[in-house]
């Protein structure tokens, strides 16, 4: 059984052009995005282990924000999650799988969490 390392960034709030209804199109919607990226773990993590034995958490944050193309309207939040997964796979060939959870904040009426979770494995 192989050891693995899961890097996580949770509850990023990002404004994204998304939606299929007329009231959703043309203006960014607030999304809450959480990402978990699975990597093969190093044999050991000693106090002086270099960052190259892991991955920078900021890469996950980048994939959910700056890496989303400006001005592009994603009809489905599934497509936003797909783009985030693709970005992380291209960024680092050590990433074995990515799970993206997206909650649409604008449609919540009673603080419920409405959204999706997508998991992709490197192919």
- Encode pLDDT of 9-32 as tens digits: 999 999 999 988 877 778 899 999
Q: What is the largest CA-CA distance in the chain?
A: 54
Q: What is the pLDDT at residue 2?
A: 86
Instruction: Give me the residue spans of the domains in the chain.
Output: 4-121
- Encode pLDDT of 34-48 as tens digits: 999 999 999 999 999
CATH match for 4-121 among 3.40.50.970, 3.20.20.220, 3.30.1130.10, 3.50.50.60: 3.30.1130.10
Q: What is the pLDDT at residue 37?
A: 98
If you ran DSSP here, which 8-state letter would residue 40 be given? Answer: E
As a whole number, the mean pLDDT across the chain is 94
């Amino acid at each position: 059984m192989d050891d693995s390392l899961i890097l996580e960034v949770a509850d990023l709030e990002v404004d994204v052009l998304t939606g299929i209804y007329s009231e959703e199109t043309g203006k960014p919607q607030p999304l809450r995005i959480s990402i978990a990226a699975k990597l093969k773990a190093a044999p050991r993590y000693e106090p002086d282990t270099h960052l190259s034995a892991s991955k920078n958490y900021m890469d996950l944050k980048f994939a959910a924000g700056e890496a989303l193309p400006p001005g592009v309207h994603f009809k489905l939040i599934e497509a936003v999650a797909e783009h985030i997964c693709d970005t992380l796979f291209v960024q680092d060939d050590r990433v074995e799988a990515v799970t993206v959870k997206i909650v649409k904040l604008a449609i919540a009426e009673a603080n419920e969490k409405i959204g999706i979770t997508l998991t992709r494995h490197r192919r």
